[in-house]
Chain A
Amino acid sequence: MNKEQRLKKRHNAEKRFKLYGLTSILLAIFFVIFLLNAIFSKGSGAFLKTTIDVEVNFDADTLELSESPPLEDLENTDYYELAIDSILKVKKVNGLTEEKLLINLFSPDYEYEIRNFLLDNPKALNQTTVLKLTASDDFDQLHKGNYPRELPEERRRINNFQLNLYDELVNEGKVNKIFNSYLFTKGDSRNPELAGIGGALVGSFFTIVITLLLSFPIAIAASVYLEEFAPKNKITDFIEININNLAAVPSIVFGLLGLGILLGTFHLPRSTPLVAGITLALMTLPRIIIPCRASLKAVPPSIREGALAIGASKVQSVTHHVLPLAIPGTLSGTIIGLAQALGETAPLILIGMVAFVVDIPSIPTDPSASLPVQVYLWSEQAERGFVEKTSATIMVLLSFLITLNFIAVYLRQKFERKW
């Protein structure tokens, strides 16, 4: 091998090495795009729902109501007959089996949808209105093109008769896609088309507020103590070791802590945002203390010395000068810590937030779900409709996280100070 060949070989090796680096960066970026694309392409469908137009004649006699009934009567009367009659008028069918198949085109909530419409518009009594009733999960998926209609009939839950009905309805223009308000207003349900993340949103909100209220003041207090007041001794060292270790403890261990201490010893109520908030606060605390301390450290000693020089006490120099200067810097670290807490799932599963909760919680001690747990719960469901619901929940969760991170970046840039 002569000189030139050797040099060429070395230069080729150089090029290869550089290529490896570039490839791995591109691979990592590809993973990001692929992951987000997989979620977003599946989830966007869930923001729309399929409805079928049904003509409903709110006849006071059929509903056994007086001519101008009080609201109470409207609430309590039986809408089942009316609902079934209106649905059967959509298409002409013969026999009980066919009637049942027709009714199965609709989500089982038709009765309540009709009732709620009348409750919202009491004037519609004795009039005929066209209502958009929610279609059942299978037809919702069929209309969105996610249902394998090419399968042989015996392997489908929708049979050929129903497919024909559906096709005729589509041709008559009675099948529509509208914005799915249920997704944001309803709690969990066994029927995908009726399930919503309302409960999870409220639960996550309560949880994160409790986490913030507990962790932020304690984190500030602890970091002020460690940075400004702590004498250099064994206790201080021990506290620092503990904080650094806790920041790296797997989150599931904090779930065990919540289960063993908060639920086991203190008998706090299971499955509630209260317990979740406390558990996540303990988990987030060390993760917030570390950036808080960095931000206190960044305040130059001259500020402290200036305050001390004109006669302020140590506490006054901290509360009047150092802390106000450091607080903006602590905010972005806190927000990033909270964003992590918002996406945390494993500890919440252990403290029982996986319970099936239909009602939307009104106080932090009501059983509730939270966004990431809802993702986990729905991903275990077999129904096709839950796949897009899960992806939509992830989209909502990710958009919250992105917003939080943007706020953190904005705050950091706005308050960043060069001394």
Chain B
Amino acid sequence: MNIIILLLVTIFSYLSFLYGRSRIRKITSTQSIKINALPNYYGYYLALWCALPALIILLFWSIFEPAIIKYLISQTLIQNDLNYSSDQLNLLYQKIRSLYEGNFSGTLTEEIKIGVKNYENLQTIAQNSKIVLLLSTFIAAISYGIFRISKNNKARHDVEKILTGLLFVCSLVAILTTMGIIFSLLFESLKFFSAINIFDFLFGMNWSPQRAFVSDASAITALEYENLKGAFGSVPLFAGTAFIALIAMLVAVPIGLFSGIYMAEYASSKVRKYSKPIIEILAGIPTVVYGFFAALTVGPFFRELGEKLNLEVSSESALAAGLVMGVMIIPYVSSLSDDVINAVPQSLRDGSYAIGATKSETIKNVVIPAALPGIVGSVLLAVSRAIGETMIVVMAAGLAANLTINPLESTTTITTQIVMLLIGDQEFDSPKTQSAFALGLTLFFATLILNYIALRFVKKYREKYE
């Protein structure tokens, strides 16, 4: 339906473009009015009047229609039975929708059947009123536009103003996305924190969300709460995430840093030309590929190695996941530190050589200290990538939340748990689902803070030498 409307809007806009252009030509040829814009601009002007109001209405209609229909349906349901809680209403509404869309499964009640009839009625009403509204706006807008054309000698000015406005709206998408992220995370997290105390979540030592059977998070009893309190302690997840990230950094920082130094200071241009793109392949490989590699090759390899050495190694060991993640991060560290080291002024090196230092002594005592803020910044950016990395840990790290510092045991991470909580069908409004959003919020803020600090470091460093 919307696609047909969009198509019609496009066609009509084009027609009104042609009409506007020919009309202004006619006006200027018959009456001796002086206009300040090319005829094309009058065409654009009319086309914008034709398309914009219709598109704006269509957008808002599509955004609000589902919510309004849901509200109306819920009202009729409440009239029949006043005892529904909001969750039951939600569930009923879902059932009605799925029956309407023809993928209903479960027992059909009288209520749902009536609901579907209502839903159908409302859909038709909505459809019809949408068309009426669009048509009337369209007629009003286009006649206003035509009326304005003959009196307007600044069509270009108006068109350009609208265009700049549109560009501005497009740049607002970034803000809208951030707001969308924060609201969607915050909204569900607040529901979660109304059921589970935020301190129990942040400082609890035990994570076992499968224990959470409670369906209604808002009306939780004291007894249920006691049961739940122990289920959502996320310290093991934070510890696991930090631990795997640490292993990854232990791999990535030395290798990345040393290759960055070698590229910047020692390598001939030929070596640079070939080895840099090869190392950057590592950054271009999708993370799911690393995950597959870690789960299928590296994990079993460590387990067999452990068996030979009489060590008990889990096939989902933190070591395997961390190692592979470290390999993934190498190019981020190496190319960033390469850039930072290159930015250190040559005069500092020359000064060091002049007092007799060897190349490595210069690097260790002059170049690296000078580039340190930038290097720290790049390492922090790499850490933020490591804690937000999902597929490697989902496929190669464990699912059970163990609080351990043994790299041979399995641990789990924030991202793994988010995926595990949300994979497959989940009921909204259960603490289990909401806890994933709370974890997401934690992750979002953790990476935000890390990135902020990292960028501050890099910026400060740049200012120093520019």
Q: Does A pair with B?
A: yes
Chain A residues with a Cβ under 8 A of chain B = 10-11, 13-14, 16-18, 20-25, 27-29, 31-32, 35, 38-39, 217-218, 221-222, 224-226, 229-230, 238-239, 242-246, 248-254, 256-257, 259-261, 264-267, 282, 285-286, 289, 313-315, 339, 342-346, 349-350, 354, 372-373, 375-376, 379, 387, 390-391, 394, 397-398, 401, 405
Residue with the highest number of chain B CB atoms closer than 10 Å, among A254, A373, A379: A379
Beta-carbon contact of A32 and B289 below 8 Å: no
- How far does the Cβ of A24 sit from chain B's closest Cβ, in whole Å? 4
Beta-carbon contact of A31 and B164 below 8 Å: no
Which of A11, A17, A230, A250 has a CB less than 8 Å from the CB of B363?
A17
A397–B291 Cα gap in the complex (Å)?
15
Beta-carbon contact of A221 and B170 below 8 Å: yes
**A18 contacts across to B, CB distance below 8 A:** 262, 266, 359-360
Is B351 among interface residues, defined by CB-CB distance under 8 A?
no
The 6 A-B residue pairs with the shortest CB-CB distance in the complex, in nearest-first order: A250-B388, A343-B286, A21-B262, A260-B184, A221-B170, A17-B360
- How far does the Cβ of A275 sit from chain B's closest Cβ, in whole Å? 14
**A373 contacts across to B, CB distance below 8 A:** 288
A14–B364 Cα gap in the complex (Å)?
10
Beta-carbon contact of B282 and A28 below 8 Å: yes
Q: Which residue of A lies closest to B185 (CB)?
A: A256
**A342 contacts across to B, CB distance below 8 A:** 286
Beta-carbon contact of B288 and A24 below 8 Å: no
Which of B263, B419, B428 has a CB less than 8 Å from the CB of A349?
B419
Stretch at the interface among B27-35, B131-139, B220-228, B442-450: B442-450
Which of A282, A387, A405 has a CB less than 8 Å from the CB of B177?
A282
Stretch at the interface among B200-208, B293-301, B307-315: B293-301
Beta-carbon contact of A251 and B388 below 8 Å: yes
Stretch at the interface among B13-21, B75-83, B104-112, B252-260: B252-260
Give the secondary structure class of B's interface: helix
Is B395 among interface residues, defined by CB-CB distance under 8 A?
yes
Q: Which residue of B lies closest to A387 (CB)?
A: B296
- How far does the Cβ of A55 sit from chain B's closest Cβ, in whole Å? 40
**Count of chain B residues with Cβ under 8 Å from any Cβ of A?**
93
Which of A14, A248, A256 has a CB less than 8 Å from the CB of B359?
A14
A315–B384 Cα gap in the complex (Å)?
40
Q: Which residue of B lies closest to A220 (CB)?
A: B170
Knowing A238-B175, A257-B184 are in contact, say whether A350-B419 is a contact too (CB < 8 A).
yes
Beta-carbon contact of A244 and B455 below 8 Å: yes
Beta-carbon contact of A254 and B173 below 8 Å: no
- How far does the Cβ of B150 sit from chain A's closest Cβ, in whole Å? 23
Which of B364, B428, B440 has a CB less than 8 Å from the CB of A252?
B440
Which of A22, A27, A35, A372 has a CB less than 8 Å from the CB of B293?
A35
Beta-carbon contact of B184 and A345 below 8 Å: no
- How far does the Cβ of A281 sit from chain B's closest Cβ, in whole Å? 9
- How far does the Cβ of B236 sit from chain A's closest Cβ, in whole Å? 19
Beta-carbon contact of B288 and A25 below 8 Å: no
Which of B67, B170, B334, B444 has a CB less than 8 Å from the CB of A225?
B170
17 extra interface residue pairs, beta carbon distance < 8 Å, beyond A20-B258, A313-B156: A17-B359, A17-B364, A25-B259, A25-B262, A28-B256, A28-B259, A29-B278, A31-B327, A35-B290, A35-B293, A230-B171, A249-B448, A250-B387, A250-B443, A265-B66, A346-B419, A397-B289
Q: Which residue of A lies closest to B331 (CB)?
A: A28
- How far does the Cβ of A240 sit from chain B's closest Cβ, in whole Å? 9
Beta-carbon contact of B436 and A256 below 8 Å: yes
**A261 contacts across to B, CB distance below 8 A:** 180, 183-184
12 contacts between A and B (CB under 8 A): A13-B361, A17-B359, A25-B259, A31-B282, A35-B282, A225-B171, A252-B440, A257-B177, A342-B286, A346-B419, A354-B423, A376-B394
Q: Which residue of A lies closest to B184 (CB)?
A: A260
Beta-carbon contact of A257 and B286 below 8 Å: no
Give the secondary structure class of A's interface: helix
Q: Which residue of B lies closest to A221 (CB)?
A: B170
Which of B163, B170, B180, B389 has a CB less than 8 Å from the CB of A218?
B170
A314–B167 Cα gap in the complex (Å)?
14
**B156 contacts across to A, CB distance below 8 A:** 313
Beta-carbon contact of A225 and B168 below 8 Å: yes
Beta-carbon contact of B334 and A22 below 8 Å: no
**B267 contacts across to A, CB distance below 8 A:** 25
A419–B385 Cα gap in the complex (Å)?
36
Q: Which residue of A lies closest to B433 (CB)?
A: A259
Q: Which residue of A lies closest to B279 (CB)?
A: A28
Residue with the highest number of chain B CB atoms closer than 10 Å, among A17, A261, A285, A387: A17
Knowing A230-B171, A256-B436 are in contact, say whether A379-B178 is a contact too (CB < 8 A).
no
Beta-carbon contact of A245 and B184 below 8 Å: no
**B102 contacts across to A, CB distance below 8 A:** none
Beta-carbon contact of A251 and B255 below 8 Å: no
Considering the complex, which residues of chain B in the window 418-466 have a beta carbon less than 8 Å from any beta carbon of chain A? 418-419, 422-424, 428, 436-437, 440, 443-444, 447-448, 451, 455
Residue-wise interface mask of B (113-143) relative to A, using a CB-CB cutoff of 8 A (1 in contact, 0 not) = 0000000000000000000000000000000
Knowing A35-B285, A379-B291 are in contact, say whether A222-B254 is a contact too (CB < 8 A).
no
- How far does the Cβ of B365 sit from chain A's closest Cβ, in whole Å? 12
Knowing A31-B282, A251-B390 are in contact, say whether A346-B447 is a contact too (CB < 8 A).
no
- How far does the Cβ of B42 sit from chain A's closest Cβ, in whole Å? 16
**B194 contacts across to A, CB distance below 8 A:** none
Beta-carbon contact of A252 and B415 below 8 Å: yes
Which of B181, B275, B443 has a CB less than 8 Å from the CB of A257?
B181
Is B174 among interface residues, defined by CB-CB distance under 8 A?
yes
Beta-carbon contact of A28 and B334 below 8 Å: yes
Beta-carbon contact of B288 and A10 below 8 Å: no
Which of A14, A32, A239, A376 has a CB less than 8 Å from the CB of B172?
A239
Is B46 among interface residues, defined by CB-CB distance under 8 A?
no
A289–B180 Cα gap in the complex (Å)?
19
Beta-carbon contact of A222 and B359 below 8 Å: no
A345–B419 Cα gap in the complex (Å)?
11
- How far does the Cβ of A35 sit from chain B's closest Cβ, in whole Å? 6
Q: Which residue of A lies closest to B283 (CB)?
A: A340
Is B292 among interface residues, defined by CB-CB distance under 8 A?
yes
- How far does the Cβ of B193 sit from chain A's closest Cβ, in whole Å? 16
Q: Which residue of B lies closest to A215 (CB)?
A: B173
**B286 contacts across to A, CB distance below 8 A:** 342-345, 372, 397, 401
Is B330 among interface residues, defined by CB-CB distance under 8 A?
yes
A259–B285 Cα gap in the complex (Å)?
26
Beta-carbon contact of A260 and B418 below 8 Å: no
Knowing A246-B174, A264-B428 are in contact, say whether A28-B330 is a contact too (CB < 8 A).
yes
Q: Which residue of A lies closest to B187 (CB)?
A: A260
Considering the complex, which residues of chain B in the window 374-431 have a beta carbon less than 8 Å from any beta carbon of chain A? 381, 384-385, 387-391, 394-395, 415, 418-419, 422-424, 428
Q: Which residue of B lies closest to A270 (CB)?
A: B425
**B265 contacts across to A, CB distance below 8 A:** 21
A289–B267 Cα gap in the complex (Å)?
33
Beta-carbon contact of B292 and A29 below 8 Å: no
**A387 contacts across to B, CB distance below 8 A:** 296
Beta-carbon contact of B174 and A289 below 8 Å: yes
Q: Which residue of A lies closest to B177 (CB)?
A: A282
A249–B415 Cα gap in the complex (Å)?
13
Considering the complex, which residues of chain B in the window 328-366 have a beta carbon less than 8 Å from any beta carbon of chain A? 330-331, 334, 358-361, 363-364
Beta-carbon contact of A350 and B422 below 8 Å: yes
